[in-house]
Chain A
């Protein structure tokens, strides 16, 4: 039975999982969820994810939500195929991947999410972006990127000299962020810029990015 992913091609969290599926060369079916009709907040969908959010993965009897738990599951289940995203053969490397997965989750994501939400999502709902919220989060993101700049001066990727799930988790939100007027936060930091160009040019992500059409007419 094939993997089923419920979500949409332009969603940041769905594409986090899509990228992982492509890195592993896995067959799957993308089942669209009609967000504009509120499908994700209605009982059939809520039975899959009680928080009413996409994506959801169905693998036979197993139903999983939370994109970062889904990618970790796929990376673990298919650890012997495709890119070694979790460094499962080395406890210390695996631990460092987990550290930078948490850094993305706790430091990078909260700031970049607010900017992407204000700039892309609110206008879709007919609302105006709040520049004050954007400014506060640009400052926070700048500070986080300073730490990344220092880190990426010592290692090629975040957890070490290898691409891992920690780098992959940054792709979707950063891709949209680079379409805002504030891409210079990435481009003005040479190590971060090199890392971004590197990870965003991976074939698995380029395939997914084709569907990431937020902000385009």
Chain B
């Protein structure tokens, strides 16, 4: 039975899961969820995901939510096929986990807040808080400085290979660079630039972008 991914292909967190599925060569079916009409907050969807968010994945009769948990499950279940996204040794896996946590706790909220203020609220006809967006940008400069330092010593975040830690950043950085006018955060940093060029040109990510177009 093919894995079902519930969520619009254009939404960020479903794309995290799709990128992982494509990297691993796992067949899947996207079940569209209409966020604009609030489908994700309706009772029948809340049975799938009690927080009313996408994505949700159904693997046979096994259901999972939280995109970062889903990608870990997919990478573990399909460890023997496609690229190794988790790391081989215990230590390698721990470093992958470390940088996944960095994305979740030191990076994501800043990008989310910035994109909310600069893009999403204005699209909904509301005023974004530009001062808040600017504060996020300044904090992101410091975070990217740490990434620059790391990537000057290591080809990818967790080491010499592309892993979930890099994959997890794709959608947020794409939004910063292509939609929010924040490309300078990447282009002003040599190692971050090279890393972004590399990971955003992977075949799997390009496929996800085609699906979302």
Contact = CB atoms under 8 A, between A and B. Distances in A.
B66 A64 contact: no
A68 interface: yes
Contact of A98 (B73, B93, B94): B73
B97 A69 contact: yes
Chain B at the A interface: SS class: helix
Contacts of A68: 97, 101
Name the interface size band of chain A. Answer: 20 to 34
B17 to A, nearest CB: 12
B14 to A, nearest CB: 15
A66 B101 contact: yes
Interface stretch (B22-30, B104-112, B117-125): B104-112
B100 A69 contact: yes
Contact of B62 (A69, A77, A95): A95
Contacts of A98: 66, 69, 72-73
B50 A91 contact: no
Given A65-B98, A150-B50, A151-B50, A91 B76 contact: yes
A73 B97 contact: yes
Given A50-B150, A95-B64, A98-B73, A66 B102 contact: yes
Interface of A: 50-51, 62, 64-66, 68-70, 72-73, 76-77, 91-92, 94-96, 98-99, 101-103, 105-107, 110, 144, 147, 150-151
14 contacts: A51-B143, A64-B98, A69-B94, A69-B98, A76-B94, A95-B69, A95-B73, A101-B69, A103-B66, A105-B68, A105-B104, A110-B109, A150-B50, A151-B50
